[in-house]
Amino acid sequence: ANSRLQHEYVPSAHLSAACTCLAWAPPGGRQPPNKDGPQRKKRKSEVAEVDRPLDILAVGTAVGSILLYSTVKGELQSKLDGGHDSRVNCVRWHQDTCCLYSCSEDKHIVEWNTQTCKVKCKWKGDNSSVTSLCISPDGKMLLSAGRTIKLWDLETKEVYRHFTGHATSVSSLTFTTVKPINENKPFDGITGLYFLSGAIHDRLLSVWYVRSDRKEKNAVMSFTVTDEPIFIDLTVSEVKEEPVKLAVVCRDGQLHLFEHILNGYCKKPLTSNCTIQIATPGNDGDSTPKPVPILAAAFCSDKQSLLLVYGNTLQPIIEKVSLNTMESHICLIRDIQKVLSLKTDVAQTKVKTPIVNSDTKVLVPGIPGHSTAVKTPASGKEKKKNKRKPGEIGESIEERLEALDIDVSKVKTPGGLPQTDSFAVLLVQGLESNDAEILNRVLNTRKDNVIKNTVSRMPIHAVIPLLHELTKRLQGNPYSASLMVRWLKSVFTIHASYLSTLPDLIPQLGMLYQLMESRVKTLQKLSRLHGRLFILVTQVAASEAVHDVTETNQTAKLVYEDESSEEEGSDDEMIADKESDENWDEDEEKEEQSDEQDMTVEKEINGDSDLEPENESEEE
């Protein structure tokens, strides 16, 4: 009621066995609201038992084991092992027996006996991973889904019905009716019931009908929402005229409410009767209201009001809202900052931030040479003089450094610029505090030897943060990217041996690989474009130059044409004569050659070629 955390459980091996799914055990052999929130309508005999507190919680893990945790005792009750060898996707308790059903990425469904913690039965549920389960209202059938949906007979473990399912993995399965609408025929516990399914990345929730024959496998109706459904709750219809109420929370933080009487086939997808969103009021300096995501929603026992969970998952706010469903769109204004700030004020006062003078230099231990003086500002000597007692003769900093056997020329730099030692210190500081100013100052250096020395002197623990920072900056403008590549080169050459020891190096550098690939992919296209543009530009320049030349040439021709025309003409004629004589001679020679060739051919045919090879070559 007050949105306060009541109980927290962290598994001892929580890193190796991350929680993947949850389900409350039914109190006194009855089913409570389970993980996805579908609530079975309670019979009158059940109402008395509902008040019992829910105790046992089944927790499916990423490694295939299932933990049974008691919230009343606050400790792990038992561990179910040996059923799955991959991630558990869904766990479901049977209403009446103490059985637990689980499905996994390893394609199998397992029936557990929770008293003995042993596998009661295990069978293959699908050709791909099984992602969702749901037990029928009478407890004799089990729905399972990967992408296609199957209805199993729990006694024989055989498939009773197949349904088409979804294109992606099914994330939720729920029965929406307890009794069939047609009450004339005798009820066998399953025929005539409707159930609902939702899948990841799918904006349609499908409703399926269990028929007496095996003909129809497709959905009878569907509900459309704005994004992938992450949380579904519904009120089960018990009577023929009672509509099913459906609350669907989407990934985009909106809540959609549907109300529909399930009575057969409906071709068009049904849209929501009401959409609820939550936003901040938008005052206190920031005038734009911001959306607050709704995380989950569930119907209260009166079927009219809703419990809404919104905010962030670490500090959710739970609120009961009674709805006027006449409006198609409701936006609730909630100032979550005020609610959360009341909780966090106490914690904030304990933290004190030290006041640091702007001249102070913070040195991180563990960096070689961190004890040497980094900067020798001119004001340093004056300050020292003020502090000395009268009558004391003090040494200058230069003398002290000589006594420490440190090369003074290295430390005293023009303009008080920091050395590579302090660059390494600054870089580590900037990475730890995420200070853009310090990082810009260090990373914008162009000198290769400074970069090399800085990278070689930085501590090993700062290598990966530096790579992340460089990756971030590589995505910026090309100018900064060209600077960052120098740093990357140094990091990879100097720290290659350390990087090769990291087990998770590939995911760490994934973004960098992609960046490099995308940059290199465009290189070829860019060089082609560069070539074409270069040709265009040179042609344009050449044509302009030609235009200029022709104009000057024209004037020159007008000036000199008269004097040289006769000489030029006679020269041209002589050349022409020469050429014609040569051509004529060549023609004669060709004729002679052809005659001679004819003769040689004839002689060869007769078998007496009297021409020697040398003579032949001469003639040629």
pLDDT higher than threshold 90 for residue 574: no
Q: What is the mean pLDDT of the chain?
A: 77
Specify if 471 maps to a domain. yes
Which tens digits make up the pLDDT trace of 87-135?
Answer: 999 999 988 888 999 999 999 999 999 888 899 999 999 998 999 999 9
Mean predicted confidence (pLDDT) in 374-395? 49
**C-alpha angle 336-341-347 in degrees, rounded to nearest 5:** 145
- Hey, what amino acid is at 303? K
pLDDT higher than threshold 70 for residue 259: yes
**C-alpha angle 347-348-349 in degrees, rounded to nearest 5:** 95
Poorest-confidence range of 64-68, 260-264, 474-478?
Answer: 474-478
Which residues does 199 contact at the CB level (< 8 Å), separation at least 6?
147, 165, 166, 167, 168, 169, 170, 171
pLDDT at 351: 55
Mean predicted confidence (pLDDT) in 511-526? 84
Mean predicted confidence (pLDDT) in 476-493? 85
pLDDT higher than threshold 50 for residue 187: yes
Specify if 285 maps to a domain. no
Specify if 133 maps to a domain. no
Poorest-confidence range of 37-46, 170-179, 240-249, 565-574?
Answer: 37-46
pLDDT higher than threshold 60 for residue 618: no
pLDDT at 575: 55
Give the whole-number percent of the chain exceeding pLDDT 70. 69
Q: What are phi and psi of 358, to 5 degrees?
A: -65, -25
pLDDT at 594: 60
Return d(Cα 62, Cα 236) in angstroms, integer. 32
Specify if 502 maps to a domain. yes
Specify if 481 maps to a domain. yes
Specify if 72 maps to a domain. no
The conformation of residue 113, written as its DSSP 8-state character, comes to E
**DSSP string computed for 422-482:** HHHHHHHHHHHHT-HHHHHHHHT---HHHHHHHHHHS-GGGHHHHHHHHHHHHTS-HHHHH
Q: How many domains does the chain have?
A: 1
Specify if 488 maps to a domain. yes
Higher pLDDT, 230 or 361: 230
pLDDT at 551: 53
Which residues does 529 contact at the CB level (< 8 Å), separation at least 6?
none
Mean predicted confidence (pLDDT) in 573-598? 58
Return d(Cα 125, Cα 154) in angstroms, integer. 12
pLDDT higher than threshold 80 for residue 224: yes
Residue 502: domain span? 422-521
Strongest mean pLDDT among 201-210, 284-293, 387-396, 585-594: 201-210
Higher pLDDT, 588 or 497: 497
pTM: 0.53
pLDDT bucket at 532, cuts 50 / 70 / 90: very high
Poorest-confidence range of 93-102, 301-310, 340-349, 411-420?
Answer: 411-420
pLDDT at 434: 85
Specify if 134 maps to a domain. no
pLDDT higher than threshold 80 for residue 47: no
- Strand 329-333 to strand 274-279: parallel, antiparallel, or no bridges (unpaired)? parallel
Cβ atoms of 246 and 258 within 8 Å: the answer is: yes
